[in-house]
Amino acid sequence: MGFGESASHIIFFIAAVMVASSAATVMSITTYKISLNLAEESKHLREAISTDFKIINDPVNIPTESIGSEKYYVFYVKNIGIESFPFTKNTLTVLIDGKVVQFEVNPNGELKSGEVGKILVKFSEVGYGNHKMKIVLHNGISDSFEFTI
């Protein structure tokens, strides 16, 4: 009878140790996954904070430029962040009055901190009157600009 009680205590002790170690393993895996997600989110947040730009045109005097037989409105974008960002047709989205428009960029490549780039929008994309332009970078950072032609 004495051995039976000791055996049941040992079995319960072993079971309790196994449950505790399983719970500790699950908690450490969960903590590891949370830390990985936090690292990824902080990387994205750091990129978003260090990437910023501004459309710097005069809203009532939009300059024009001709390339061959095509005429374009010129919108100036200044990188006011501390990081460079890709400045290409594939990494930018330009909306005028909520409609995605075709555009050209100059320089094509990367816009370094403090540099000014040009976005060229064809005359045919913009009519006369008041308009609202929104430029969105590849990472979701955007700036809006109201202008009159």
pLDDT digit string, tens, across residues 42-70 = 887 777 778 899 999 999 999 999 999 99
Give the CATH number for residue 98: 2.60.40
Q: Which phi-psi region, left, alpha or beta, contains residue 34 (left: φ > 0; alpha: ψ -120 to 50)?
A: alpha
Could you tell me if 74 and 139 lie in one domain? yes
How far CA 99 is from CA of 10, 90, 125, 133, in Å, comes to 73, 17, 9, 9
Mean pLDDT value across the chain: 91
Could you tell me if 32 and 65 lie in one domain? no
- Name the most confidently modeled range: 38-42, 67-71, 115-119: 115-119
Q: Which residues contact 88 (CB under 8 A, 6 or more apart)?
A: 105, 108, 109
Give the structural domain span for 59: 53-148
pLDDT at position 2: 56
Q: Is the pTM of this model over 0.85?
A: no
Could you tell me if 24 and 45 lie in one domain? yes
Could you tell me if 137 and 64 lie in one domain? yes
Could you tell me if 59 and 45 lie in one domain? no
* C-alpha to C-alpha distance for 117 and 101, rounded to whole angstroms: 18
Handedness of CA 59, 135, 45, 27 (dihedral sign): positive
The stretch 1-8 carries a mean pLDDT of 71
Is residue 111 pLDDT above 70, yes or no? yes
Could you tell me if 68 and 114 lie in one domain? yes
Is residue 40 pLDDT above 80, yes or no? yes
pLDDT at position 3: 66
* C-alpha to C-alpha distance for 149 and 137, rounded to whole angstroms: 25
The share of the chain scoring above pLDDT 70, in percent, equals: 98
The stretch 9-32 carries a mean pLDDT of 90
The stretch 83-104 carries a mean pLDDT of 95
The total number of structural domains in the chain stands at 2
